[in-house]
Amino acid sequence: MSDVTQKRKKLVLYIAGQTPRSIAALKNLERICGEHLPGQYEIEVIDLKKSPALAREHGIVAIPTLVRELPVPIRKIIGDLSDEGKVLVSLQIADE
């Protein structure tokens, strides 16, 4: 694995259809990543309405939830990601 690959963050956003918080979370996430992690991230969006079984797999209880799969350890951020500071801390972007 290259450094670049290692440095890339894999983010998974769990939503439930087009609910207002889900849409807000996706917009907030794209904005924060675009500003602070240009070219260093990969976002996967999973709609639990379509595949509810995936919720159990990742222990999702509330939606929207953002999961940082990479780098490990896995981190979860619950909510619509409107608190930018908190999002950055959780993604450990601030201290990198």
Partner 1 sequence: MNDAASSAVIDELRRRLAEAEDTLLAIQQGSVDALVVENSNDSQIFTIESETGYRAFMEAMQLGAAAVDLDGNIIYANRNFATIFTDQGDDLQGRPLAHVIDEQELFERLVGTVGTGLAAPEIILSVDGAERHYVTAVTEMVVGTTPGYAVTFSDVTKERLAQRALNARVRELKCLYRVLELTTNDGMTFSQICQAIVAVLSEELSSNQCACSRLVINDTEYRSECWVEPVSRFSAAINNENIAVGFVELGYGNGELSQFPFSEFVREEEHLLNAVAAHVSRMIAVASARERLTRSDRLRAVGELSGGVAHDFNNLLTVILGNAETLAELLPDGVAKRLAEMTAKAAGKGAELTNQLLAFSRQQVLNPKAVDVRRLLLDMKEFLQRAIGEQIHVDVVAEADVGVALADQSQLENAILNLCLNARDAMLKGGLITVSASRAVLTASNLIDHGDIAPGTYILIKVEDNGAGMEQEVVARAFEPFFTTKSKGEGSGLGLSMVFGFAKQSNGTAQLVSEVGKGTTASIFLPAYADTDSGQQSSTASDVRAQRGAEVILVVEDHDLVREHVTGLLHSLGYATLAATNGLEAMAIIRANDHVDLVFTDIIMPGGMSGEELAAEVLRLRPDMPIVLTSGYSETLVNQGKDGGCKHLLLKKPYKMRELANIIRQGLGSGS
The residues of the shown chain that bind partner 1, judged by CB under 8 A, are: 15-17, 19-22, 48-49, 52-53, 55-56, 60-65, 73, 76-80, 82
In the block, residue with structure tokens 């350890």:
73
**Measured from the CB of residue 57, what is the shortest distance to partner 1 in angstroms?**
9
- Coil, strand or helix: which one is 91? coil
Distance CA 12, CA 93 (A): 16
Which residue, 30 or 47, has its beta carbon nearer to partner 1? 47
Q: Which amino acid is at 24?
A: A
Which residue, 34 or 52, has its beta carbon nearer to partner 1? 52
